[in-house]
């Protein structure tokens, strides 16, 4: 079993999520996705990375409290992708 889960990434979950999108929508081209919740976690970060790599748009929103914001290093990483 391969999981590769850590505090900053959950790549196997992203592959499963993308497969679900393809199965239900027929593809991800032109897709716009929204994530609402705790923005400082591996799922949010990998959804952001996936959107950058696969070419679809994602908006993330969550509580304005300091412990819930996307870490700046992840934003920079996504800009480089």
- Please list the pLDDT of the chain residue by residue as tens digits (81 residues): 777 888 889 989 999 999 999 999 999 999 999 999 999 999 999 999 999 999 999 999 999 888 889 999 999 999 999
The pTM assigned to this predicted structure is: 0.87
Helix (H, G, I), strand (E, B) or coil at 80: helix
- Asked if 67 and 37 touch (Cβ cutoff 8 Å), the reply is no
DSSP code, position 69: S
The distance of Cα 45 from the centroid of its chain, to the nearest Å, equals 5
Amino acid 2: pLDDT: 77
Amino acid 45: pLDDT: 95
Where does residue 1 rank: exposed (0-12), middle (13-18), buried (19+ CB within 10 A)? exposed
């Amino acid at each position: 079993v391969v999981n590769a889960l850590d505090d900053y990434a959950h790549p196997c979950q992203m592959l499963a999520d993308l497969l679900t999108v393809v199965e239900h929508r027929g593809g991800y081209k032109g897709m716009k996705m929204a994530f609402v919740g705790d923005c400082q976690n591996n799922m949010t970060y990998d959804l952001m990375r996936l959107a950058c790599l696969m070419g679809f748009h994602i908006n993330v929103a969550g509580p304005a409290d300091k412990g819930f914001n996307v870490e700046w290093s992840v934003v920079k990483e996504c800009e480089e992708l």
